Amino acid sequence: MNGSVIHTAPKWMLSLIGITAFFGFWYFASFAQLIPRQFLPMPHEVVLKLMDLMQTPFAGHVLHEHMASSLQRFAWGFGLAALVGVPLGLLMGWFGWLDDIVSPLFDGLRFIAPVAWVPFAALWFGTGAGGPTLIIFAGAFPPCLINAYRGARGVEVRYTEAASMLGVGSFRTITEVLFPAAVPSIIAGLRIGAGLGWMSLVGAELIASSSGMGYLIVKGQSAIATDIVMAGMLAIGFVGVLIDVALRKIEAHLLRHRR
């Protein structure tokens, strides 16, 4: 009976139950000092600190300036990953010889965690924009390429055969047959890549930057200011959700146009 009630409950109600339970346990753990208040402030204290960071500079900048710095780095790294990964994936899906050339190298590199590139990024670029861009690229590139490749390989043979019979060249086949058919897979790869890229960015800024949300968090940790650390985490999560929502909107628009 209880199970059937849960299954028939509206989605928003189940979401509300989960959120309420999470914050309820957080309040309880903080109030009961299961973890010292210095290291686990109450939720409303974190929200108040978040609002304060919007007006009072910390680590050299106010919150929205740190966020703007992070978003600029993310745009460069993720944009480069999409611009290289999607076309390369489509080309690999169409040209078998290119797949044979790229796959061995790609399969070896894609299993290197983006954070493993941090020392090289710091040595090569210091705290400039190049280091975080490289690390974001390392996180976002594999999903972009893999999903574009799978989308191209998953196109029904009758479409490519029809294009071949009509004398359509490889370039037009890729742009007018493979790409439109692979759009759902490509968008899925972009969403995964955006998530990994955003997480990679924060990891990069913890070590190889002088501004940004990751830099704000590490400075908060150095100052033993848990409320600042958690406020930064809250802002990072919120912006990450907005990025995913934006990609979902683009996906819905492209799928409507595709149909």
Rounded to whole angstroms, how far apart are CA atoms 179 and 157?
14
> What pLDDT was estimated at residue 171?
76
Rounded to whole angstroms, how far apart are CA atoms 259 and 248?
16
Rounded to whole angstroms, how far apart are CA atoms 139 and 198?
8
What is the model's pTM?
Answer: 0.82
Rounded to whole angstroms, how far apart are CA atoms 181 and 174?
10
What CATH architecture is 49-258? Orthogonal Bundle (1.10)
Buried b (16+ CB within 10 A) or exposed e, 23-45: eeeeeeebeeeeeeeeebbbeeb
| β-pair partners for 61 | 58
> What pLDDT was estimated at residue 258?
60
Rounded to whole angstroms, how far apart are CA atoms 86 and 147?
8
> What pLDDT was estimated at residue 253?
80
Tens of pLDDT, residues 87-143 = 999 999 888 889 899 998 888 888 888 888 888 877 787 666 778 888 899 999 999
Rounded to whole angstroms, how far apart are CA atoms 37 and 40?
5
Which structure tokens are listed for 117? 């590139």
> What pLDDT was estimated at residue 1?
46
Q: Are 73 and 201 in contact (CB under 8 A)?
A: yes
Dihedral sign (CA 45, 59, 193, 241) = positive
User: Hey, is 58 helix, strand or coil?
Assistant: strand
Rounded to whole angstroms, how far apart are CA atoms 208 and 121?
7
Instruction: Supply φ then ψ for residue 61, to 5 degrees.
Output: -145, 160
> What pLDDT was estimated at residue 141?
94
Nearest to 174, CA basis, from 81, 86, 77:
86
Angle CA(83)–CA(197)–CA(176) in degrees, nearest 5?
A: 30
How far is the CA of 232 from the CAs of 40, 188, 207, 220, 244, in angstroms? 14, 27, 16, 9, 19
Positions in the chain whose pLDDT score sits under 50: 1
Query: At 238, which helix (H) or strand (E)?
Result: helix 226-258
